[in-house]
Amino acid sequence: QQQVKQSPQSLIVQKGGISIINCAYENTAFDYFPWYQQFPGKGPALLIAIRPDVSEKKEGRFTISFNKSAKQFSLHIMDSQPGDSATYFCAARVYGGSQGNLIFGKGTKLSVKP
Amino acid sequence: KAGVTQTPRYLIKTRGQQVTLSCSPISGHRSVSWYQQTPGQGLQFLFEYFSETQRNKGNFPGRFSGRQFSNSRSEMNVSTLELGDSALYLCASSYGPPTEAFFGQGTRLTVV
């Protein structure tokens, strides 16, 4: 019940295309869902996050879509660029709880071809 | 504003040795969490400290331990190193447990 399942494992997208990464969870106590971007040799960087009281959040080219009833959320990268090539992790946590640990998906390696 | 600083960046140790990794959180942040990242298991939670108290612990053996100091800096220790402990160890800091977490660049530990 603590798992976050992420798909696909890898993704190849042409420059200018839309990249879509999906995640699903079981624990209904989760109420904070961040996405992290990680480049080789670097730590994960917080990209965008959502709480389940909204169905969508957009920041620049990055959008999170959230479906509470299906317990699924996804990251959309519009107009994908070669510089977006990185590994993306979804995560979940009980936002209001005293324990702040994140449960991560296994990651998606995105390659954007020029 | 300086980010999360982890030292050292790289370490090579021999099986059976012990190792101590250090993490300095973002100024003002009082919560520090540690994660282990491996290609096979992904990012796994080790433990979380807030105001010098361990608030949460992941499913790792007792060889993994940590502590937090009054200035919020944290250290983690791994004793009796095994080959399988080779990983990127990441530290994340936040104002408090339920807020946004920011990661350092990690310490790459190789056990030979």
B25-80 pLDDT tens trace: 999 999 999 999 999 899 999 999 999 999 888 999 999 999 999 999 999 999 99
Would you call A44 and B56 a contact, using CB atoms and an 8 Å cutoff? no
Residues on chain B touching A99 (C-beta within 8 angstroms): 48, 55-56, 97
* B74-78 and B64-68 beta bridge pairing: antiparallel
- A106: closest chain B residue by CA: B42
| B84's tokens | 């399988």
Chain B nearest CA to A99, separation (Å): 6
The residue ranges of DSSP E strands in B14-112, in sequence order, are: 19-24, 31-38, 42-50, 53-57, 64-68, 74-78, 87-94, 102-103, 107-111
Residue B51: which region, alpha, beta or left (left: phi > 0; alpha: psi -120 to 50)? left
- Let me know: does B54 contact B100? Beta carbons within 8 Å: no
Give the per-residue pLDDT at A97: 54
- Let me know: does A21 contact A108? Beta carbons within 8 Å: yes
Give the per-residue pLDDT at A96: 53
- B47: closest chain A residue by CA: A101
Mean of pLDDT over chain B: 94
Give the per-residue pLDDT at B37: 97
- Let me know: does B1 contact B56? Beta carbons within 8 Å: no
Q: Which of B81, B82, B55, B77 is nearest to B66 (CA)?
A: B77
Chain B nearest CA to A84, separation (Å): 18
Q: Which amino acid belongs to residue A75?
A: L
Structure confidence at residue B95 as a pLDDT band (50, 70, 90)? confident
CB atoms within 10 A of CB B97: 23
Interface of A with B (CB under 8 A): 32, 34, 36, 41-46, 49, 89, 93-107
Distance CA(A5)–CA(A99), nearest Å, equals 21
- Let me know: does A97 contact B98? Beta carbons within 8 Å: yes
Residues on chain A touching B6 (C-beta within 8 angstroms): 43
Residues on chain A touching B55 (C-beta within 8 angstroms): 98-100
Low-confidence residues of chain A: pLDDT under 50:
none
**Dihedral, CA of residue B69, residue B66, residue B55 and residue A27, to nearest 10:** 140
Give the per-residue pLDDT at A99: 62
Q: Which amino acid belongs to residue A70?
A: A
Nearest to B43 among A46, A94, A104 (CB): A104
Chain A nearest CA to B6, separation (Å): 10
Mean of pLDDT over chain A: 92
Q: Which of B64, B58, B23 is nearest to B44 (CA)?
A: B58
